[in-house]
């Protein structure tokens, strides 16, 4: 179970249509597939999605930090030695997606070696999760049409609506159109990716008071410290910290400072090991969590599912597990399928996926 090789493979797959949100937009998935091999010949795999507008990482930076720093550190470590691996990781500041993918690839190798699913190793709570779909910026009609297609084709009835545009009416009109179209048959919540000021967010949320939204995520910047506390105090729904609280210390600061009262856990940035620590922190503090999405493909989505299904607290709310549907193609031999609004774990050990090598050869950028 000794890690003897690490690979960081840059690849590119187009989205069918760009996903737009307040802090950026994604046209192509320029991701990095991370593979570890152990001395027994077992391969572990995970995905690193660069999100420069949130964490400063790029495809090139992820490949370089794995090739030059993190990969050489884990080579020679046992796949069981997570504490040592993370002590090594802490010697390098930042690079959350690169570290998360390596962490999850090691877990995948461990599960495969033991013949056990990673989700069972983590917690073994359930077999599936309810799915929430994230709707990027567009006109009210286009966003209603997309949500309707998601419900008709995949049975999805929970939607996270991207907000944070100016003027804020662009977004409140979308939320109202969705509620008018679906009535009480869907759950709706919003994510501002820090696009509004605290006062704009307060006005917009007041204008949507009658829409029955269930969560509000990152409506304004966490750096607007007093403004954000002022906003959070007056909202009638939990305020979810996402990109402002990606590390355990940041989560403590945001929660104790009154700048958030729920947390988005994203395996794409905290892997399995650190996500488990964050989940313990949140449940200990009595704070709700949501399994978030970093516009993941199917590899990343299965990682989110493996973690989310493993625990009661992460399975309570719908997990953001469907934006792989926005990609024009993907890398799994057996594509994911959302049925009746739920995504099921697979039976295979490890994270449970197999990579289609022909597709990887086709999409990789390094050959």
Site for ligand MUC, rule CB under 6 A: 21, 51, 54, 191, 193, 242, 292-295
Choosing among ligand MUC, Mg ion, none, which partner's interface includes residue 172 (Cβ < 5 to 8 Å by kind)? Answer: none
**Whose Cβ is closer to Mg ion: residue 63's or residue 158's?**
158
**Whose Cβ is closer to Mg ion: residue 190's or residue 327's?**
190
Distance CA 302, CA 318 (A): 14
Choosing among ligand MUC, Mg ion, none, which partner's interface includes residue 164 (Cβ < 5 to 8 Å by kind)? Answer: none
Q: Is the dihedral of CA 17, 334, 317, 300 positive or negative?
A: negative
Residues 313/44, Cβ–Cβ less than 8 Å: no
Q: Is the dihedral of CA 100, 14, 178, 165 positive or negative?
A: positive
Choosing among ligand MUC, Mg ion, none, which partner's interface includes residue 295 (Cβ < 5 to 8 Å by kind)? Answer: ligand MUC
Smallest separation (angstroms) from ligand MUC to the CB of 162: 8
| Residues with a known catalytic role | 162, 191, 217, 242, 266, 294
Residues 268/243, Cβ–Cβ less than 8 Å: no
**Whose Cβ is closer to Mg ion: residue 239's or residue 363's?**
239
Smallest separation (angstroms) from Mg ion to the CB of 64: 27
Residue closest to ligand MUC (Cβ): 51
Distance CA 252, CA 247 (A): 9
Choosing among Mg ion, ligand MUC, none, which partner's interface includes residue 54 (Cβ < 5 to 8 Å by kind)? Answer: ligand MUC
Residues 85/77, Cβ–Cβ less than 8 Å: yes
Cα dihedral 30→25→205→283 (10° resolution): 10
Q: Which residues bind Mg ion (CB under 5 A)?
A: 191, 217, 242
**Whose Cβ is closer to Mg ion: residue 104's or residue 245's?**
245
Structure tokens at 268: 């794409």
| Spatial CA neighbour of 353 closest among 293, 291, 304 | 304
Smallest separation (angstroms) from ligand MUC to the CB of 220: 14
């Amino acid at each position: 179970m000794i890690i003897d090789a690490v690979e960081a493979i840059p690849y590119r797959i187009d989205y069918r249509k760009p996903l737009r949100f307040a802090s950026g937009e994604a046209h192509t998935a320029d991701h990095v597939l991370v593979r570890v091999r152990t001395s027994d010949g077992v391969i572990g795999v995970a995905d690193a999605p660069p999100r420069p507008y949130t964490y400063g990482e790029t495809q090139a930076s992820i490949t370089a930090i794995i090739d030059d720093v993190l990969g050489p550190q884990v080579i020679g470590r046992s796949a069981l030695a997570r504490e040592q691996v993370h002590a090594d990781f802490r010697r390098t500041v930042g690079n959350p997606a690169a570290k998360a993918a390596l962490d999850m690839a090691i877990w995948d190798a461990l599960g495969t070696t033991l013949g056990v699913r990673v989700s069972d190793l983590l917690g073994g709570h359930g077999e599936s999760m309810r799915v929430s779909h994230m709707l990027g910026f567009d006109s009210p009609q286009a966003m209603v049409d997309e949500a309707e297609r998601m419900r008709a084709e995949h049975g999805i009835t929970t939607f996270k609506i991207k907000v944070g545009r100016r003027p804020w009416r662009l977004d409140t009109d979308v939320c109202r159109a969705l509620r008018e179209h679906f009535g009480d048959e869907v759950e709706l919540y919003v994510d501002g990716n820090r696009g509004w000021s605290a006062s704009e967010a307060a006005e917009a949320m007041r204008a949507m008071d009658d829409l029955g939204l269930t969560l509000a995520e990152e409506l304004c910047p966490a750096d607007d410290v007093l403004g954000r506390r002022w906003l959070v105090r007056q909202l009638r729904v939990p305020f979810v910290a996402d990109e402002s609280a990606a590390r355990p210390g940041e989560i403590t600061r945001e929660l104790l400072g009154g700048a958030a009262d729920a947390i988005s856990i994203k395996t794409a940035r905290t892997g399995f090991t650190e996500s488990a620590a964050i989940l313990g922190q949140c449940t200990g503090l009595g704070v709700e969590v949501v399994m978030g999405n970093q516009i993941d493909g199917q590899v990343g989505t299965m990682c989110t599912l493996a973690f989310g299904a493993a625990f009661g607290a992460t399975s309570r709310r719908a997990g953001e597990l469907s934006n792989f549907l926005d990609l024009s193609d993907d890398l799994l031999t057996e594509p994911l399928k959302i049925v009746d609004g739920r995504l099921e774990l697979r039976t295979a050990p490890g994270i449970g996926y197999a990579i289609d090598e022909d597709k990887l050869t086709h999409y990789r950028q390094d050959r």
